[in-house]
RNA sequence: GGGCGCAUAGCUCAGUUGGUUCAGAGCACUUGGUUUACACCCAAGGGGUCGGGGGUUCGAAUCCCUCUGCGCCCACCA
């Protein structure tokens, strides 16, 4: 047939993707076959494909295609996530460019803009996945804010609330002043920052008569100018100070007990309290307490009934408590307040100090601890089945690699309640409806109509109508919708008995990054047990981060992330897939290097050329099958089966790189390097039909096992090899059947290949061109399969193989095990050089023999080592002895 | 501060219960080869005291201790 001499990936890839789509191979519906299900980790709806996605989705596609070839009903559900903070931030920024302030819009107006944005950019990333070859069931594409998905989220919220697991509380939460919303603990990233430690003097107020005077206190008059010094990293928060705290065991400060201090600038009087929480070693051992702006201080405040003064606005500028500093940003105020303190003469000193500050995962803003009313989910009980499922004795969910089990355990065992409310508009609005101003004056229901009914019951006021109710303005945390993903994509929350959820759930594998182990993976497990009483997936494959050659994380800001689509254009999707998988063990970071893609592309080219070769052959049924072809095909079949077992083993352990490398070597070395070279007819000679058919059958097997990794190229060649009906496409072909492996044949071939290598070495050393046929004699001391002689003869370009019993004189020699081979040379042999070479080989072999014999004469070794080990050592000994014999006799004949 | 993990060839990594798949793979490198599928090729070759030190054992890359250097996760010390 006519085929292009060069493989044109770009046109081929789009052609076959369209073909697959047209014939609906990706679409799955429940049937009698075993299901194989993956739900995609939904990328941010407005995101674009980056290297992490490419790796992650390539792995998923390999798993899905492999399962499909194994005859399973493969279903890969794609979709996107609304990503509340990230998306809302983008929309706000875009509106700002247009001169629109979010605060001037109503909720509905803002949401209209957000939907517009989503529809414009949403799904771009899914189109990019198609370029990668992802065989997702696009008919099932979901978005976390689809109506049915949102309905499920609300249903779950109401249910958890009714179970008493969701509550509203006034708590210290993580406030992102930039996004102006709270964040869960998991969304806060602690970073080391260099800051200052400010030492500030507070004047001590003498005790008043009404409060009594301690027995041991110094006389009143001595106290007038007394100060105490505290250390703080945040001088601007002194406006919120409501106490000074000392450690009761600190002898330096016993005289301060029960007294009061005056806060500089604001000149408020605050008590000096005692608590063992204070570290005697740190700073001055005195602590200022700001309950509104620090979690520890809040705890102290609760314990000691302190006043709470919130000094910040939502954007972290000082409010009226900040006096003349009102309106200043917290970081600006930190400087100006310090200056003012210095001017007042109460700033004792300033030291540099490194401390950890919480930052927002999304906006990178420094988190401000802030007290506010938020919604929380009680985690303590929910978490129990999730711990059991992964770490229990009968663990149902496996993590790959296993090392993440520790991380998982640590998080779950120390879990705190989950703050699920966000002060955002983009997301599911919390279904709580207020009917009064009281903290408890609300009901939770799936609709306002139901809410009215509940409110009527609760208040005993039958006059209430929907217009008396106000829905909570907060939205839910994005993860509160994505934690339901494996269930909600099959409508398993709203319709728990539907066919899809019963068939596809639990899903098989989840492929994602360890960075969202807590955000998402753990929570899906929690939700799965709560709502299906069953695990959401069997296995979790955690990929590593994609880094550049300098080990830097790939990121937009560093500009070190290659353009994913350009890579595909340059190296083909198949090439990029291979490049990504060549070195990416589960959980290990991947040092990405474009040359890996080049290698992938090169591999594709190699296979294309192999096909091109077979295609150039003229097939004849008039000639016999050569002996060499017959045995080589038998060998390759054994080799293929051997590799197949290895490959399946790698798949079962999610060692996809290893599986790919096994296939790579099988095709590159064994198929192209050996088999094709052996069966290749002489120039312009035809090939016998029997060999040709067998070779093509083996070629097809190769394509099948490579298909999950390089779907396009393999399908293309598959369709060239024969006319195929849509039912016969490679994508739905049958994975090669495992057969018994002829290990004997494999080792016999290996021996033959060593002989061939020996011949090649001699040719190289003596500059004998390959096209010159040479004579060849052998002394066979080993049992060898002479069927391979034809192979040796062909690849060594030998005139013939003669068996002799005595060393051939005037010949170059080499040995494989105890077999000796002779290549007669025209003209004089450099006898001296040969003797030196042989002597060295003898010396080495004798040394080797000695070490083996030493081991065998050690009684404790013979007594202690297993039978097999000793047998092996004895074999080594006899092999070495036989080899020494042959070397010695060769030496004798030379001398 | 607590926990976990890693260190093997120039690079990226395999190496399961200690002993023949134990010192490996791919890439890179060196040398030679090209009218006969492919220079995106073929062949041959060099290269590692398995991070340092100590221990257990007949035997250690593998088990134990220790030191060093990295990485990750968690954490409320101002």
**What's the rounded Cα separation, in Å, for the pair A500 and A660?**
33
The reported pLDDT for the residue numbered A761 is: 87
- Which residues are CB-contacts of A239 (< 8 A; sequence separation ≥ 6)? A263, A265, A266, A309, A311, A318, A321, A322, A323, A325
Q: Which residue approaches B35 most closely, CA to C1'?
A: A683
Taking alpha carbons only, the member of A890, A895, A877, A742 closest to residue A822 is A890
**What's the rounded Cα separation, in Å, for the pair A432 and A452?**
11
The predicted-structure confidence for A195-242, as pLDDT tens digits, reads as follows 889 999 999 886 554 344 444 554 544 445 688 999 999 999 999 999
Chain A 698-717 residues whose Cβ is under 7 Å from strand B: none
Average pLDDT, chain A: 90
The predicted-structure confidence for A651-680, as pLDDT tens digits, reads as follows 998 999 999 999 999 999 999 999 999 999
Distance A656 CA to B14 C1' (A): 13
Core vs surface per residue A585-619: b (16+ CB within 10 A) or e: bbbeebbbeeebbebbbebbbbbbebbbebeebeb
Token pair belonging to A193: 């920052």
Chain A 716-755 residues whose Cβ is under 7 Å from strand B: none
The answer, yes or no, to whether residue A255 has pLDDT greater than 70, is yes
With contact defined as beta carbons under 8 Å apart, do A707 and A734 qualify?
no
Rounded mean pLDDT, A158-186 = 93
Q: Determine the Cα angle at A636 with ends A630 and A641, to 5°.
A: 135
Distance A59 CA to B60 C1' (A): 36
The predicted-structure confidence for A563-622, as pLDDT tens digits, reads as follows 889 999 999 999 999 999 987 777 788 888 888 999 999 999 999 999 999 999 999 999
Is the C-beta atom of A761 closer than 7 angstroms to strand B? yes
**What's the rounded Cα separation, in Å, for the pair A457 and A450?**
11
| Nucleotide in closest CA–C1' contact with A290 | B78
- Share of residues in chain A with pLDDT > 90 (%): 63
Is the C-beta atom of A194 closer than 7 angstroms to strand B? no
User: What Rg value do the Cα atoms of chain A yield, rounded?
Assistant: 38
With contact defined as beta carbons under 8 Å apart, do A154 and A428 qualify?
yes
Token pair belonging to A228: 């105490």
The reported pLDDT for the residue numbered A223 is: 45
Is the C-beta atom of A682 closer than 7 angstroms to strand B? yes
The reported pLDDT for the residue numbered A210 is: 39
Q: Alpha helix locations (H) across A163-219?
A: none
The reported pLDDT for the residue numbered A611 is: 96
Query: Which residues partner with A620 through β-bridges?
Result: A688
**What's the rounded Cα separation, in Å, for the pair A373 and A294?**
16
Query: Which residues partner with A368 through β-bridges?
Result: A175
Is the C-beta atom of A848 closer than 7 angstroms to strand B? no
Helices A9-22, A564-581: crossing angle, 10 deg rounding: 80
Token look-up 């009215």 returns: A452
Rounded mean pLDDT, A836-865 = 80
Is the C-beta atom of A595 closer than 7 angstroms to strand B? yes
Distance A895 CA to B75 C1' (A): 79
| Nucleotide in closest CA–C1' contact with A754 | B44
Distance A771 CA to B32 C1' (A): 15
Rounded mean pLDDT, A535-550 = 89
Nucleotides of B under 7 A from a protein CB: 2-5, 11-14, 19-20, 25-28, 32-34, 36-38, 40-45, 57-59, 72-78
Taking alpha carbons only, the member of A599, A705, A603 closest to residue A656 is A705
Distance A539 CA to B73 C1' (A): 21
Chain A 536-575 residues whose Cβ is under 7 Å from strand B: 551
Distance A649 CA to B21 C1' (A): 16
Core vs surface per residue A434-445: b (16+ CB within 10 A) or e: bbeeeeeebbbb
Distance A407 CA to B66 C1' (A): 26
Is the C-beta atom of A760 closer than 7 angstroms to strand B? yes
Q: Determine the Cα angle at A224 with ends A223 and A225, to 5°.
A: 100
**What's the rounded Cα separation, in Å, for the pair A837 and A848?**
17
Is the C-beta atom of A616 closer than 7 angstroms to strand B? yes
The reported pLDDT for the residue numbered A435 is: 92
The reported pLDDT for the residue numbered A214 is: 47
Cβ count within 10 A of residue A682: 7
| Nucleotide in closest CA–C1' contact with A186 | B74
Of the CA atoms within 13 Å of residue A495, those in its CB half-sphere come to: 10
The predicted-structure confidence for A788-836, as pLDDT tens digits, reads as follows 999 999 999 898 899 998 888 778 888 888 888 998 876 656 777 778 7
Cβ count within 10 A of residue A634: 15
Distance A646 CA to B48 C1' (A): 27
ipTM of the complex, rounded to two decimals:
0.94
Taking alpha carbons only, the member of A614, A608, A611 closest to residue A574 is A608
Q: What are the φ/ψ torsions at residue A329 (nearest 5 degrees)?
A: -70, 155
Chain A 204-243 residues whose Cβ is under 7 Å from strand B: 231-234
- Which residues are CB-contacts of A593 (< 8 A; sequence separation ≥ 6)? A549
The reported pLDDT for the residue numbered A712 is: 97
Rounded mean pLDDT, A354-371 = 88
The predicted-structure confidence for A75-114, as pLDDT tens digits, reads as follows 999 999 999 998 998 999 999 999 999 999 999 999 999 9
With contact defined as beta carbons under 8 Å apart, do A477 and A428 qualify?
no
Distance A395 CA to B8 C1' (A): 33
| Nucleotide in closest CA–C1' contact with A674 | B42
The reported pLDDT for the residue numbered A216 is: 53
| Nucleotide in closest CA–C1' contact with A192 | B75
Distance A882 CA to B28 C1' (A): 39
Distance A696 CA to B32 C1' (A): 33
**What's the rounded Cα separation, in Å, for the pair A665 and A672?**
10
Token pair belonging to A508: 């098989």
Is the C-beta atom of A514 closer than 7 angstroms to strand B? yes
**What's the rounded Cα separation, in Å, for the pair A246 and A233?**
17
- DSSP assignment of A222-234: GGTT-EEEEEES-
The predicted-structure confidence for A317-346, as pLDDT tens digits, reads as follows 999 999 999 999 999 999 999 999 999 999
The predicted-structure confidence for A842-853, as pLDDT tens digits, reads as follows 887 887 888 788
Is the C-beta atom of A602 closer than 7 angstroms to strand B? yes
DSSP state of A88: H
Distance A761 CA to B48 C1' (A): 25
| Nucleotide in closest CA–C1' contact with A277 | B77
Q: Which residue approaches B25 most closely, CA to C1'?
A: A661
The answer, yes or no, to whether residue A556 has pLDDT greater than 80, is no
The reported pLDDT for the residue numbered A557 is: 67
Q: In chain A, how long is the greatest CA-to-CA distance?
A: 125
Residue A421 three-state SS: strand
Distance A359 CA to B68 C1' (A): 33
Chain A 398-427 residues whose Cβ is under 7 Å from strand B: 403, 406-407, 410-411, 414
Chain A 263-302 residues whose Cβ is under 7 Å from strand B: 277-285, 287-288, 294-296
Distance A187 CA to B1 C1' (A): 22
The answer, yes or no, to whether residue A132 has pLDDT greater than 70, is yes
């Amino acid at each position: 047939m006519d085929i292009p001499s060069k493989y044109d990936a770009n046109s081929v890839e789009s052609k076959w993707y369209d073909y697959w789509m047209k014939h609906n191979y990706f679409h799955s519906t429940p049937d009698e076959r075993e299901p194989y299900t993956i739900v995609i980790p939904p990328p941010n709806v407005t995101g674009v494909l980056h290297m992490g996605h490419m790796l992650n989705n390539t792995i998923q596609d390999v798993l899905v295609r492999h399962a499909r070839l194994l005859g399973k009903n493969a279903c890969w559900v794609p979709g996107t996530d609304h990503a509340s903070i990230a998306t809302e931030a983008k929309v706000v920024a875009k509106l700002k460019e247009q001169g629109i302030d979010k605060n001037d819009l109503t909720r509905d107006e803002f949401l209209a803009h957000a939907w517009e944005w989503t529809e414009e950019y949403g799904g771009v990333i899914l189109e990019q996945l198609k370029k990668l070859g992802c065989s997702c069931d696009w008919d099932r594409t979901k978005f976390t804010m689809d109506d049915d998905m949102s309905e499920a989220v609300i249903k779950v919220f109401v249910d958890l609330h009714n179970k008493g697991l969701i509550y509203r509380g006034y708590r210290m939460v993580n406030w992102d002043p930039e996004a102006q919303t709270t964040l869960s603990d998991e969304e806060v990233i602690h970073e080391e920052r260099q800051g200052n430690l400010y030492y500030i003097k507070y004047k001590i107020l003498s005790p008043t008569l009404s409060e009594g005077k301690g027995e041991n206190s110094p006389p009143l008059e001595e106290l007038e100018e007394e100060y105490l010094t505290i250390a703080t990293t945040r001088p601007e928060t002194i406006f919120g100070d409501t106490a000074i705290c000392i450690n009761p065991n600190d002898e330096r400060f016993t005289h301060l007990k029960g007294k009061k201090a005056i806060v500089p600038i604001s000149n408020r009087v605050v008590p000096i309290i005692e608590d063992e929480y204070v570290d005697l070693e740190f700073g001055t051992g005195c602590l200022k307490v700001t309950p509104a702006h620090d979690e520890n201080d809040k705890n102290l405040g609760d314990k000691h009934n302190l006043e709470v003064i919130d000094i910040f606005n939502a954007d972290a500028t000082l409010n009226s408590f900040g006096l003349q500093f009102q309106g200043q940003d917290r970081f600006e105020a930190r400087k100006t307040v310090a200056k003012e303190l210095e001017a007042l003469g109460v700033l004792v000193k300033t030291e540099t100090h490194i401390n950890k500050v919480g930052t927002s995962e999304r906006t990178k803003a420094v988190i401000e601890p802030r007290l506010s009313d938020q919604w929380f989910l009680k985690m303590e009980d929910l978490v129990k089945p999730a711990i059991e499922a992964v770490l229990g004795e009968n663990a149902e969910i496996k993590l790959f690699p296993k090392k993440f089990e520790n991380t998982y355990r640590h998080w779950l065992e120390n879990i705190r309640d989950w703050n699920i409310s966000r002060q955002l508009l983009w997301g599911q609005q919390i279904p709580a409806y207020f009917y009064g101003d009281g903290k408890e004056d609300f009901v939770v229901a799936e609709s306002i109509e139901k809410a009215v009914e509940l409110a009527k019951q609760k208040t005993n006021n039958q006059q209430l109508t929907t217009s008396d109710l106000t829905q909570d303005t907060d939205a839910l945390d994005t993860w509160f919708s994505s934690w339901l993903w494996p269930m909600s994509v099959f409508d398993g929350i709203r319709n728990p008995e539907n066919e899809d959820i019963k068939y596809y759930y639990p899903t098989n594998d989840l492929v994602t990054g360890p960075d969202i182990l807590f955000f998402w993976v753990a929570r899906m497990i929690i939700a799965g047990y709560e709502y299906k009483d069953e695990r959401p997936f069997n296995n979790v494959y955690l990929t590593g981060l994609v880094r550049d050659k300098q080990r830097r994380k790939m990121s937009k800001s560093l500009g070190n992330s290659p353009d994913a689509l350009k890579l595909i254009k340059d190296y083909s999707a198949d090439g990029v897939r291979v490049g990504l998988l060549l070195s990416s063990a589960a959980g290990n970071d991947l040092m990405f290097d474009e040359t890996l893609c080049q290698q992938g592309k090169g591999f594709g080219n190699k296979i294309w050329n192999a096909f091109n070769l077979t295609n150039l052959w003229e097939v004849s049924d008039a000639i016999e099958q050569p002996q060499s072809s017959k045995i080589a095909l038998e060998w390759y079949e054994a080799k293929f089966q051997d590799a197949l077992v290895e490959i399946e083993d790698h798949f079962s352990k999610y060692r996809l790189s290893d599986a790919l490398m096994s296939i790579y070597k099988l095709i590159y070395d064994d198929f192209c390097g050996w088999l094709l070279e052996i069966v290749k007819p002489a120039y312009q000679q035809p090939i016998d039909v029997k060999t040709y058919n067998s070779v093509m059958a083996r070629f097809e097997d190769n394509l099948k096992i490579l298909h999950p990794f390089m779907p396009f190229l393999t399908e293309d060649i598959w369709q060239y090899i024969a006319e195929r009906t849509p039912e016969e496409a490679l994508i739905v072909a049958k994975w090669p059947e495992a057969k018994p492996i002829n290990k004997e044949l494999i080792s016999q071939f290996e021996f033959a290949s060593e002989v061939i290598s020996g011949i090649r070495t001699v040719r190289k050393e003596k500059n004998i061109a390959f096209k010159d046929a040479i004579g060849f004699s052998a002394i066979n001391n080993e049992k060898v399969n002479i069927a391979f002689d034809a192979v040796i003869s062909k690849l060594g370009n030998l005139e013939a193989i003669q068996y002799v019993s005595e060393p051939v004189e005037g010949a170059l020699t080499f040995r494989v095990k105890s077999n000796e081979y002779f290549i007669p040379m025209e003209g004089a042999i450099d006898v001296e050089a040969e003797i030196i070479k042989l002597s060295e080989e003898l010396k080495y072999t004798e040394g080797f023999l000695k070490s083996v014999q030493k081991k065998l004469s050690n009684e404790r070794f013979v007594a202690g080592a297993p039978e097999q080990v000793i047998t092996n050592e004895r074999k080594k000994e006899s092999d070495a002895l036989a080899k020494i014999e042959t070397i010695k006799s060769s030496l004798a004949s030379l001398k």
